[in-house]
Structure 1
Amino acid sequence: MSTLIPTVKSSKKPAETNFNLLPSLPSWFDDILGKGLGTEFMSNFNTGITLPAVNVINSDNEFLIDMAVPGLKKSDFDINIDNNILSIGVESKTESNVKKENYTRREFGYSSFKRTFTIPHSVNTDEISADYADGILKIHLPKRDEAKRKPIKQIKLS
């Protein structure tokens, strides 16, 4: 926390302002404790997956959802459609157990997220597909034939 320094905005002298030049006792403790006991003790806490960013591309024939989620397996994903809502969920668990002469160390982790999207009525839900390669999840939402962009038709004058 930083200490406020009064600035003169009127003709009053700094001594006439209501600011205290010394920090208050609680802010002084916050400054000391905040710097010394910040995130050092929590450096490995909650290092799981955060909500991944998504790119949605609207092309002539389909919507394409790209999501960068590296380090996962295909079996970690739960992708489903319910009542025109597309849900993409991930649940990942890791566990390691190291045994040496004088010690045993066991670490585990859990991370998850869920993203949902409303599917437009222009999408053919029967033909939605997904693939996962090189850390990128791609979901293809093909458009219905009547929703696809038609090429420009030239009309000749008679």
Structure 2
Amino acid sequence: MTLVKRNPASINFLFDELFNAFPAHWGNDQVQHNFAPAVNIHETTDGYHVELNVPGRNKEDFKVSIDNHLLTIAFEQKETIENKDYKTLRREFSFKSFKRSFTLDEKVNADAIQAKYENGILKLYLPKKEEVKIAPKEIAIL
């Protein structure tokens, strides 16, 4: 470990100490653009349940698509608010976006996928094909 001495008389030292107490993402413009929501994926005998934690969004801003067995969930929201009462010096929450992709296996019936957005959770149901739902029969060994 290397010990670095600071000059306490320097005004920069005071600012460094002050701003190091803030979360690391503050002031980093790239964080908003690289946001990826937390995802839960559950499997049942009938299908898969995918849940994305995305509170405070509008369902119209989501785009769910499937291309070549790749399920892609994208979100983009642009906010343009003009206010003549004040001058904005910095705007960090005017654009939000993310994209998550998942590879679907052959078990999924892509034509019957359902999605709904409620209470800040985007829920997708990916049903399995009928032939996959049938449990294999056990064969007695003679």
TM over 0.5: yes
| 1:112-143: CA deviation from partner (whole Å, max 9, x where unpaired) | 11000000111111111111112110111000
- Distance in structure 2 (CA, Å) of the matches to 1:48 and 1:141: 29
Amino acid at match of 1:66: E
> How far is 1:37 from its partner?
4.4
Structure (1/2) with the larger strand percentage? 1
Where relative contact order (Cα < 8 A, 6+ residues apart) is larger, the structure is 2
Name the % identity.
Answer: 33
Q: Highest Rg: 1 or 2?
A: 1
- Match in the other structure for 1:10: none
TM-score using structure 1 length: 0.66
After TM superposition, give the deviation of residue 104 of structure 1 in Å. Answer: 4.4
Is the Cα–Cα contact under 8 Å of residues 127 and 142 in structure 1 kept in the other structure?
Answer: yes
**2:17 corresponds to which letter in structure 1?**
K
Structure 1 letter corresponding to 2:112? E
Q: What's the RMSD between the two structures over aligned residues?
A: 3.2
Counterpart among 5, 16, 36 of residue 34 in structure 1: 16
Deviation at 1:73, TM superposition (A): 1.0
Alignment counterpart, residue 95 of structure 1, candidates 39, 57, 80: 80
Unaligned runs of 5+ in 2: none
TM (normalized to structure 2)?
A: 0.73
Given that 1:67 and 1:136 are in contact with CA atoms closer than 8 Å, whether structure 2 keeps it comes out as: yes
